[in-house]
A and B are shown apart, each in its own frame.
Chain A
Amino acid sequence: MTILFIEDDAIESMKLNRTASKLPVKHTIVQAKNGEEALDILNGPDQLPDIIFLDLNMPRMNGIEFLQILKKDPALKYLPTIILTTSQNRADLLECYRTGIAGYIIKPLKYEDYEDKIQKVIAYWEINELVKA
């Protein structure tokens, strides 16, 4: 499975990579530091990812703006996008669901909890049929 991970924080990237590396099945994690970079990757020559993990609080183009662009794109809108955020703002949550997301995960404080959640999400998507390009 190819995961596009949109996150500006380096430690967050380390957390995901460390979590993914512990899994028996190997996954490709492509990282983008913000929305613009992510769009470049999606519009680039490489194959599209299977799912997207998206942080909301990012400099320049924030997560919701990116999501809106994504969901307007006739091809890209099929990509399942899971929000990974510390924001418990209900307004954000509602806006994301309205625009179209495949999940909304609050980053827990403890790493063990984080690992647990991410593993479950990946496991869930592993058993799903994916939109292969």
Chain B
Amino acid sequence: MDSKEVSLLKKALERQKKARRQAEMILEEKSQELYDTSRQLKETNARLENLLSEKTSELEGVFINIVDPYLVMDINGQVIRMNAAAKQLLGYDHTKESINLSQLVHPEFLEYTKESFKKLYEVGTLKNYRAKIVVKDKSVRFVQVNSSLIYDKDRNPIAAQGIIRDITKESEVEALLSEQKKQLDIIVENSPLGIVLTVNSKFIRANKAFANLLGYSESELKEVTVNAISDPEDEEVSQELHEKMIQGKLENYSVIKRFIKKSGDTLTTKTSVSAVRDPEGKIAYEVAIVEDITKEKEAEEQIKASENRLATLISNLQTGVLLENEDRKISLTNQMFCDLFEIPVSPEQLKGADCSNAAEESKHHFKDPKAFVKRIDEILKSRKLVLSDELEMKDGRILERDYIPIFNNGVYKGHLWTYNDVTIRKNYKTNLENQKEKYWSIIANMNLGLIEVDNKDVIQLVNQSFCKMSGYSEKELLGQKASEILKVHEKNLIEEKGKERLKGKSDSYEVKVVIKSGQTNHWLLSGAPRYDETGKVVGSIGIHLDITTQKNLELQKEELLAELEESNKGLQEYAHIVSHDLKSPLRSISTLATWLHDDYIDLLDETGVYNLQMMQEKVEGMDKLIDGILKYSSIKSETLEKKPVDLNQVVNDIREIIFIPEHVSVIIMDPLPTLQADATKMHQLFQNLISNAVINIDKSEGIVSIGVTEKKDIWEFYVRDNGVGIPKEYHDKIFKIFQSIGSEERSTGIGLSIVKKIVDLYQGEIWLNSKVGEGTTFYFTLNK
């Protein structure tokens, strides 16, 4: 270390020593000052303390006399002083124990209390601090505190004083009130009735129900007036009532009022309005309770409608109705009742009439008036339900009467009489029974066999005739299956008919049955379904007629007819063959005679030629005879045709075919009809008659006239000539075959037989009028 350095260090050290001395001096100075101050402070304190104690005693004098609980606490909440009331309230005594108010505060109010204290310190006062506290006996009290800070002389807060009011009771009331209000709100809000509060037609409040009813929200309602949403039609009535309420004549009213919903629909309500008045009696509010009665209204209308229906029903009932009340006055009756008893007034007019003497007054209607009155008295006395009493009226009608007493909760309220005219029903029943009896005796005694079977074909009933027919006794038949005991040849037919019977079909048919004796008989069977009262088919009824004899005859007849037909056919054939066999040799003879004449004319003398001529004529006659027989035998009903035949045409044709000499004229006198007949036969008929007439003309001028007269069901024709006439004794003979009375060689005597046969065929008649030398008229009839 060099000296320089040392000197430097020495200097520094010197400087430090100097600085410390200086600091020690300053410290000494300051200490002196501090001491002075502290002494002064001590003095001031002492003075202040004096002052305080003075002030305290002053205040104590004031507060001691405060009735309300009063206390002073330091800034930590420790109670410094409290009066008797406070002691009583809190249950504590600060002179005996230490009390910190903060510990009394109910936990719920801690936060509020902290804030309130803070406010107190900042502002210096605290008003209306309300809190729950727990007092010594653990009960909870509600208190209200007004407090202010207490400062020392330096304006530092040193304590706080407060006046406590016990508001427990007050709070409870308040809580109760708010609870009640809440409940009221709930009631109002949840009421199904619309509740509104209005002032001067403005909605102050409306509950949910009202808003819902109208479709407006609560806020929207505040924008409209009552009138704006009311149906204008109701305005007059509402206005009038409202007016009265304003005038104080009315405290409340109830009307059926219609509102217009937001949707535009109408809402029908029952609205009750009450006035809430202020102390001066003016209306402060109007409270309205609105009830939706749309449905009620509808229901009411429905009830009205059904009442109307019921009334109409009763008035038109085919039963006479009389409803009497407990005083025997008529409550209700109908037209039918008036008609039944010939009461000349309307049912309306009868309403209210006294019935106590009705029985006596109307007994003359009945066959047994005494019994009628007696019975009524009986019924009225017993007041018990009586049904279907039968009453015989003097005029023959039969009425059925019901009596129905009416009780309401056990109290007799009147009674109902009903009368039905059952004359027809009654008579019908009697008739039915009579008829049944009558028919049953017919059935039992008739010659027809009757059998009834059920749906299973089991025999239910037979009559005597059926037993006789079948050979079985009733005992043997009943309960048996009909198809088993009675052996019917046509089994399938019976089954088929049985099915049809179930369908309700009835008809007749023939069966062959083997009866008990083993003999086969023919029965004609008429079957019909059997019905029960409900119209259901429960079986069938068969009526049987034994037609064995008739059937056998019929079969015989059929056989005979077939035989006859066969033999007729044979005969017809035979006639043809015979005629051919006869005609062929005639042709040969005729031919040979011709040839003899032609080839040997030179060798023949006059007699020979004449004889050959005679031979030819005889052969010709024979040929005609054969033709006639053939024609006669071929007139048969089965070959007849049925076509319209114009007889004028027929006669005209004949005029052209047959030989009519110059001096004879054939005249149609009346237009002849057109008949439904066989043309050939008509032709034969007229040709034979006409040619017959022509041949018999012996006068120089011959007239054959043909005419007709129309009768009811027939045509009467005639063919008249002015010829030789027919002697009376021949009139019957001439229609018989081969009976010729004509002198003419050409007559075969078969023509009129053919005529008769044709007329017979058409179920006509033929006869004649004749006078020898004057002429003959043939009459014949043909059916129309």
Contacts and interface: CB of A to CB of B under 8 A. Distances in A.
6 smallest A-B Cβ distances: which pairs? A11-B588, A111-B594, A111-B591, A86-B583, A89-B576, A109-B623
Contacts of B581: 57
A26 interface: no
A112 interface: yes
A47 interface: no
Q: Which of A15, A109, A112 has the most CB of B within 10 A?
A: A109
B577 A9 contact: no
Contacts of A112: 594
Contacts of A9: 584, 588
Band of interface residues on B: 20 to 34
Interface string B572-602: 0000110111011011101110110000000
Given A57-B584, A86-B583, A88-B630, A109 B576 contact: no
Interface in A81-106: 85-89, 92
Interface residues of A, number: 20
A15 B619 CA distance: 18
A11 B584 CA distance: 10
Interface string A56-98: 0100000000000000000000000000011111001000000
B365 to A, nearest CB: 88
A57 B595 contact: no
Contacts of A110: 590, 594, 616
A62 B670 CA distance: 50
A63 to B, nearest CB: 11
Interface in A23-60: 57
A109 B588 CA distance: 9
Contact of B592 (A11, A88, A108): A11
A110 B583 CA distance: 12
A113 to B, nearest CB: 10
A47 B175 CA distance: 154
28 contacts: A9-B588, A11-B587, A11-B588, A12-B584, A12-B587, A14-B591, A18-B595, A57-B577, A57-B580, A57-B584, A85-B580, A86-B583, A87-B576, A87-B579, A87-B580, A88-B579, A89-B576, A108-B587, A109-B583, A109-B586, A109-B587, A109-B590, A109-B619, A110-B616, A111-B590, A111-B591, A111-B594, A111-B595
A90 to B, nearest CB: 8
B620 interface: yes
B258 to A, nearest CB: 103
Contacts of A114: 587, 591
Q: Which of B580, B592, B594, B627 has the most CB of A within 10 A?
A: B580
Contacts of A14: 591
Q: Which of B581, B586, B591, B594 has the most CB of A within 10 A?
A: B591
Contacts of A108: 587
A11 B580 contact: no
Contacts of B616: 110
B587 A107 contact: yes
Q: Which of A9, A18, A86, A112 has the most CB of B within 10 A?
A: A86
Contacts of B595: 18, 111
